[in-house]
Amino acid sequence: MSRHTPDRSDEHFVDTQPFDPWDKEELSPAQEKYFLASQWKLIWWRLKQHRLALISLIILAIMYSAIFIVEFLAPYAQESRDSQNIHHPPQGIHLFDDGSFVGPFTYGTDFSIDMETLKPIYTPNPEKIDRLRFLCSGDKYEFWGLFDASLHLVCPAKDGTLFLLGTDRLGRDMFSRIIYGARISLTIGLVGIAVSFVLGVLIGGAAGYFGGWVDSCVQRVIEVIRSLPEIPLWMALSAALPVTWSPVLIYFGITIILGLIDWTGLARAVRSKFLALREEDYALAARLTGATPKRIIARHLLPNFASHLIASVTLSIPNMILGETALSFLGLGLRPPVTSWGVLLNEAQNINAVAVYPWLMLPVVPVIIVVLAFNFLGDGLRDAADPYKN
C-alpha cells in the first residue's frame, strides 16, 4: 500500500457547520402531510399522476352518472318510431346558415328513393332550418318507470328531426337508443363482476390461504373452466335460460352466466397475492402473536391487497361488457325490447345493411371507449395499488 508524501489531499478537513443529529427527524409540512396520509390517500395521489387513467376515470364517471338520467338526455324516447325517416343518415348540427349566426340547428331533409336499389335517399334542404330546442318538452317517457315526464335536454324543432347518429330500419333514433343501451351495457358488467368478485375472492382466498390439496383442486377446476371455449359455453348456458323469462330475468341470467365464467382470472389473482402476502413478516408476526386465520385474513391480508383487487376488477369489467355485447350480437343474450349496445349491434349483422347504412355500426364506438377507459384506469390503479413501492 503506497502512502505518498503529504500534500493538500492529506490534510485533515473538519466541517465547521453546526451539527444537530436530531434535525434529520424534523419534518417539512409536505412530509408531515405525506406521513399522515392513509393508504387510500397515497393511492389517490399516485393515480392523479397517471394522466391517461385520470382522463379515463373522468370519462367513466360522466358515463356512469349519465345512466341515471338517460330519459332526460336522449332526444327521443326509447321506442319512438318515425316511419317517415327509416334508415335516415346522421345529421350534423350547424351554427351558421349562409354566413349568419342562427344558433344550433339541423337542416331538414327531402326524401326520395333510388328506384334501382330501393335505397331511401335523404337530401338536406337548406330552406328548412330546424332550430334545436333545449330543456324542452318532447317524447313522453316514464322516468325509471316511476312517473311520466316529457322533459328532454334537447329536442328537435317541432316537425323537425334530430338524428345525430341516424335511424334504424324502424326509424328509431340511434343516438337515443345508444344512450338507453348504456344503462344496460354499463351495469351488466358491474352485476356480473359482483358475482365473479365474490366467487373469485372466496375461492381464490381459500386456495391461497389453505394451500395444499384445496389449492390443487381449485387450480385444476380453474384450468378446466379456462380451457373450455368461451363462446360455445356461453351459448349453451344462455340457451338453457327459458324463453318464457321476462327480459329483466334474462338480463340477470346473463350476468350470472358471465360471472360464473369470469371468476377464474380473479381467483388466480387473489390466490397469488395471498401466497405472496402470507409470507410477509407482518402476517407471520400476527400469527405468532396468536391471531386466528380469520383475523389475519381480514385485518392483514385483505387490506393489503384490496387495492390490487380493485385494479384487477377494473381490468375485468371490460371483459364483461364485451361478453354481453358478443352474446347479444349473436342473438343469445339480451333480446329486444331490451336495448343494449349488443342488441343494437345485432341489427348490424347483415353485411348488406352495414354496407348501405354504415351508421348501424356506431354502437361499437361507445363499447370501444368504455373498454379502453376501463383498461387505462385499471393500468393506472395497478401502478398505484402499492403506494409503498419506490
- Single out the residue of 26, 29, 36, 65 in contact with other proteins (rule: CB under 8 A): 36
Q: Which stretch binds other proteins (CB under 8 A): 94-102, 203-211, 284-292, 345-353?
A: 284-292
Per residue, what are the HEC states of 181-209? Answer: HHHHHHHHHHHHHHHHHHHHHHHHHHHHH
Nearer Cβ to other proteins (246/389): 389
Longest CA span, the chain = 107
Site for other proteins contains 116 (CB under 8 A):
no
Nearer Cβ to other proteins (231/298): 298
Site for other proteins contains 281 (CB under 8 A):
yes
Site for other proteins contains 229 (CB under 8 A):
no
We find the least distance from the C-beta atom of residue 218 to other proteins, in angstroms, to be 20
CB 190 within 8 A of CB 317: yes
We find the least distance from the C-beta atom of residue 215 to other proteins, in angstroms, to be 16
We find the least distance from the C-beta atom of residue 285 to other proteins, in angstroms, to be 5
CB 359 within 8 A of CB 224: no
- Single out the residue of 39, 80, 272, 375 in contact with other proteins (rule: CB under 8 A): 39
Nearer Cβ to other proteins (53/164): 53
Site for other proteins in 288-347 (CB under 8 A): 288-292, 295, 299-300, 303-304
Site for other proteins contains 118 (CB under 8 A):
no
Site for other proteins in 49-78 (CB under 8 A): 49
Conformation bin of residue 108: beta by default, left when phi > 0, alpha when psi is -120 to 50: beta
Distance CA 362, CA 226 (A): 32
CB 270 within 8 A of CB 200: yes
* All cell numbers assigned to 119: 335505397
Count Cβ atoms below 10 Å from residue 282 Cβ, excluding itself: 12
Site for other proteins contains 29 (CB under 8 A):
no
Q: Which helix (H) or strand (E) holds 3?
A: none
Site for other proteins in 91-110 (CB under 8 A): none
Site for other proteins contains 10 (CB under 8 A):
yes
CA 109 to chain CA centroid, Å, is 37
Site for other proteins contains 287 (CB under 8 A):
yes
Q: Which amino acid is at 13?
A: F
- Single out the residue of 58, 249, 285, 298 in contact with other proteins (rule: CB under 8 A): 285
Question: 136 — phi, psi (to 5°)?
Answer: -115, 170
Q: Which one-letter DSSP state was computed for residue 153? A: E
Distance CA 148, CA 141 (A): 6
- Single out the residue of 2, 117, 227, 244 in contact with other proteins (rule: CB under 8 A): 2
Residues that bind other proteins (CB under 8 A): 1-5, 7, 9-15, 17, 19, 21-22, 24-25, 30-31, 34-39, 42, 49, 280-282, 284-292, 295, 299-300, 303-304, 387-388
